[in-house]
Chain A
Amino acid sequence: MAAPVGCLAGWGRWVGSSSSAAVTPRPWRLFGALCLLRLPRITQPLRGEEEEMAALMGQIELEKSRYSDHEVRKLEEEEQLRRRKESSYDDDEAPGKTVIMAQDLEDKWEQKLLQFSPAPRVTDADKKDDRTSLNRKLDSNLMLLVKQKIGNQELWLLPQVEWQPGETMRNTAERAMATFLGDHIQAKILGNAPYGIYKYKFPRAIRTEDNVGAKVFFYKAFLQSSDLSQAELKKDYLWVTKDELGAYLKPEYLKKVNRFLLDF
């Protein structure tokens, strides 16, 4: 958060509450933020060397293998057909006995495969570049970004909520998710410890002795419920990949976030 011009309305409430009590006022405000990841649903396409290597591995396997039962049967039947054509004698087999050739089986299987059409890997949401849908970019991680008001600026952030005394940081992160997505969403938070931290000082206009700045602790979670139709998303939200984060987040914030995001 690079220097927003401060508005005292938000901070005043906090300053008031800090003067009560036995609790020694800490100069930093604490926030818990959640990086909610939708895991990839399909495999990534093979890159140049990977494709060549996969083809080579298949070839080597074929060379080192022996014939399977199906192949042995196919070879025998081809031999039989060839012999029958060359010598053209009546078959030894009893008349009326219908034999299914291995080649026929293969043709039947081929037909069946052609009849089946799987779902497309590049979905509609990909084509329209609809960033609010979860069906986009099925081969990479998508994370949730929400537009929040900090100071008097509307910024795109990972959903965050202020820490309240009496709860652990992880609970704060869970509350952040519940605030933005509602209660029915299932997500697995990975552990009790935060993955990253973003520390910033408030602009001089608002800074006081007791209120120097804020620390945002990030937690990582995997989204487990597959459809979000029940989610009550109140504000603007986006599901973006790691590469697209740069378009939305501020540079300092982005640097801290990138440290704990794996690269896909």
Chain B
Amino acid sequence: MLPALLHSELVGTNSSSTFLELPKSFWLLAQTLRLLFSGRYSSVCRKSHRTASFSAHVIIYLARAQPKKKKKVDVRREQAQKDRMKKKIKKLEKAAPELIPIEDFETPLKVRSLPPLSFEETERRVLLMKKWSAYKQKQDRAEKQAIRSLVEAQQEALKELRLESEELYQAAIRRDEGLFPFEREGPNYTPPLPGYDPPEGKCIDITKVYTQ
């Protein structure tokens, strides 16, 4: 109980005020200890007989005596503090905000050091590019031809269907609502491994967050 009371009293006071109070409290303590040893305050101690708890009682009395003197000083000091903080905030606000760096635009200064290309290498590259463009052109033409033949076959089928029955034709040219959105997972390099259990990993996010 005694340490709790002491703690509550000390917490109740302002941090700035205890600095000045300490020497006062020590002075008072010194005074009271002198008086104690002289024997005049022996009546204060009722519950215990040990000197340690007796001095603790005295300290409690001293602590309780302090708050009455602190009030005006505290209020003034608090006001001064608040003003100082406000001035600091105003100064910071007036200064221009620091720009947040865009990490994507920062490139390392050091450039990759590779040996320069030989004449044969450049020649080979140019010739390969030419072959590649011819290959791609052929591929593109083949694709376009395939699409053309697809469309032709479909048109023919629809024509024949119309000859057969108008209602079947109308049903066929109606839009298929369930077709889009069409989702499909593309092919991978290897087929899925049956019974493969992928290892669990932790993802630690180290992105830097900047605040202005």
Contact = CB atoms under 8 A, between A and B. Distances in A.
B190 A197 contact: no
B94 to A, nearest CB: 38
Contacts of B168: 168-169
B191 A196 contact: no
A67 B111 CA distance: 7
Interface in B142-185: 142, 146, 149-150, 152-154, 156-158, 160-161, 164-165, 168, 171-176, 179, 182, 184
B160 A26 contact: no
Interface string A162-181: 00000011100000000000
A63 B121 CA distance: 14
A215 B156 contact: no
A194 interface: yes
A218 interface: yes
Contact of A196 (B153, B164, B188): B153
A262 B154 contact: no
Interface string B104-139: 000110111010000000000100100110010000
Contact of A41 (B111, B132, B176, B187): B187
A121 B154 contact: no
B149 to A, nearest CB: 5
Interface in A36-94: 39-43, 49-50, 52-53, 56, 62-63, 65-67, 72
Interface in A206-242: 215, 217-218, 222
A235 to B, nearest CB: 26
Contact of B191 (A42, A63, A195, A222): A42
Given A121-B190, A263-B146, A197 B176 contact: no
A49 B150 contact: no
Interface of B: 107-108, 110-112, 114, 125, 128, 131-132, 135, 142, 146, 149-150, 152-154, 156-158, 160-161, 164-165, 168, 171-176, 179, 182, 184, 187-194
The 7 closest A-B CB pairs, nearest first, are A197-B157, A259-B153, A118-B190, A168-B171, A194-B157, A196-B153, A119-B193
Given A41-B188, A195-B153, A197-B161, 5 more contacts: A26-B164, A43-B187, A66-B110, A190-B179, A197-B157
